């Protein structure tokens, strides 16, 4: 049986298999000084040798690479440590390794008969070229074709300002994968016939460079028999469909809240359960009210007289009009709190937020002489400077 070409990295560096990292470092430096192209200008043999020791050092000086090399007999970036471990274990126990190197057909190799181990760099190069392909191929085949759960979906759902406060029904249009109604998710229909890819053998031959190797037929998963592809879903088992989903909004739902609709995500494959649909609620805005958690913010203008003398004014709340007491001497920008006039909390049932009123003072336009005279009179009676405190703080 042909085996993959191997390289004796330890021999190249002239160290034992048990060499420490320090031994390897020293051996490489010594050899590198001897064969470095700068020291041997124009010497092709030295250049080759330098490449070899560099490659050996690259693998042996890296703990992870060295372990894989020790286990498999060569190194490739495509071999993950778990595969190398499994391969080494199978070799020790004499069982079937996960990758059967002996199964490769090396007959197409340059030079006729099967290449023997360690017979040169050209063989190594070819092997390395196709190596990545073999491992990628193997990974694809290992994908199970059994039941797989559907994936979750996430959508943003904008909900009307009032619906978010009072609760109710809302709807959203989504695209989701549904089980194909023609094949009921199987992806195939009708009786099984001989697989056209492998002609019933369950194996197909792939070319890798000049080498041939057999892999399990991906069309029939090695069974040799397969039913026709479903014409509706082309074998997927699911179809993408636009759907309007209705969902319930709890009173007091806040912006950014997540709603989970179980089983409303994508359909599973081969009978797997569907995923979930997650909705992120975006609460709509209102021209007068602003929501801040369970509180409602509003800006309310009052007259100069109401601000100076105090008054009871009507302000809008989410329940309709309500009386707000303006204390005498209220300033523009002042915030007045109306307790429990906000939103009923979804988190803490029975609790309500507040309405927070920001007062602005509407200054009158004085268009007649009598009004202006009264204002001047008012100023004479109250000669306080509102900017005095500012200057005192400087």
- List of residues contacting Zn ion (CB under 5 A): 180, 182-183, 195, 197-198, 217, 219-220, 230, 232-233
Report how far residue 245's alpha carbon sits from residue 205's, in angstroms, rounded to the nearest whole number: 48
| Least gap, CB of 270 to Zn ion (angstroms) | 11
Report how far residue 250's alpha carbon sits from residue 230's, in angstroms, rounded to the nearest whole number: 42
Nearer to Zn ion, 178 or 255 (CB): 178
HEC profile of 286-306: CCCCEEECCEEEEEEEEEHHH
Nearer to Zn ion, 51 or 184 (CB): 184
Nearer to Zn ion, 140 or 260 (CB): 140
Report how far residue 273's alpha carbon sits from residue 146's, in angstroms, rounded to the nearest whole number: 12
| Least gap, CB of 183 to Zn ion (angstroms) | 3
Nearer to Zn ion, 197 or 255 (CB): 197
CA dihedral 69, 75, 78, 80 (to 10 degrees): 10
CB 294 within 8 A of CB 187: no
| Least gap, CB of 241 to Zn ion (angstroms) | 13
Q: Among 362, 268, 346, which Cα is nearest to 308's? A: 362
| Least gap, CB of 177 to Zn ion (angstroms) | 12
CB 195 within 8 A of CB 219: yes
Q: Are strands 225-229 and 211-216 parallel, antiparallel or unpaired?
A: unpaired
| Least gap, CB of 190 to Zn ion (angstroms) | 12
Nearer to Zn ion, 233 or 307 (CB): 233
Nearer to Zn ion, 225 or 325 (CB): 225
Q: Which tokens go with 299? A: 């800006």
| Least gap, CB of 188 to Zn ion (angstroms) | 8
């Amino acid at each position: 049986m042909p085996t993959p070409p191997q390289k004796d990295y330890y021999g190249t560096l002239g160290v034992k298999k048990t060499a420490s990292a320090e031994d390897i470092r020293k051996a490489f430096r010594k050899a590198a000084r001897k064969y470095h192209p700068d020291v041997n200008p124009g010497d092709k043999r030295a250049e080759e040798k330098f490449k070899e020791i560099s490659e050996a050092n690259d693998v042996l000086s890296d703990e992870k690479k060295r372990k894989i090399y020790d286990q498999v007999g060569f190194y490739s970036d495509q071999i993950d440590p778990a595969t190398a471990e499994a391969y080494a274990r199978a070799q020790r126990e004499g069982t079937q390794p996960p990758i059967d190197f002996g199964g490769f057909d090396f007959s197409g190799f340059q030079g006729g008969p099967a290449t023997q181990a360690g017979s040169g760099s050209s063989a190594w190069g070819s092997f390395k070229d196709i190596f990545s392909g073999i491992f990628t191929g193997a990974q694809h085949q290992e994908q199970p074709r059994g039941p797989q759960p559907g994936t979750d979906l996430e959508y943003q759902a904008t909900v009307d300002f009032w619906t978010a406060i009072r609760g109710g029904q809302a709807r959203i249009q989504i695209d989701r994968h549904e089980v194909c109604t023609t094949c009921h998710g199987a992806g195939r229909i009708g009786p099984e016939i001989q697989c056209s890819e492998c002609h019933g053998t369950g194996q197909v031959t792939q070319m890798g460079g000049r080498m041939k190797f057999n892999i399990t037929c991906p069309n029939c998963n090695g069974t040799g028999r397969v039913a026709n592809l479903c014409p509706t879903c082309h074998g997927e088992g699911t179809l993408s469909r636009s759907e309007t989903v209705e969902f319930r909004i709890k009173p007091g739902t806040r912006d950014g809240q997540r709603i989970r609709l179980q089983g409303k995500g994508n359909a599973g494959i081969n009978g797997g359960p569907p995923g979930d649909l997650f909705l992120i609620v975006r609460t709509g805005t209102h021209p007068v009210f602003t929501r801040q958690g369970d509180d409602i913010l509003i800006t309310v203008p009052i007259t100069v007289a109401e601000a100076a003398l105090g008054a009871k004014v009507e302000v809008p709340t989410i329940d309709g009009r309500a009386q707000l007491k303006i204390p005498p001497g209220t300033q523009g920008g002042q915030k007045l709190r109306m307790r429990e006039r906000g939103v009923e909390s979804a988190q803490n049932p029975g609790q309500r937020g507040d309405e927070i009123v920001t007062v602005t003072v509407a200054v009158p336009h004085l268009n007649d002489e009598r009004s202006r005279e009264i204002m001047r009179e008012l100023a004479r009676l109250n000669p306080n400077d509102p900017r005095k405190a500012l200057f005192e703080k400087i």
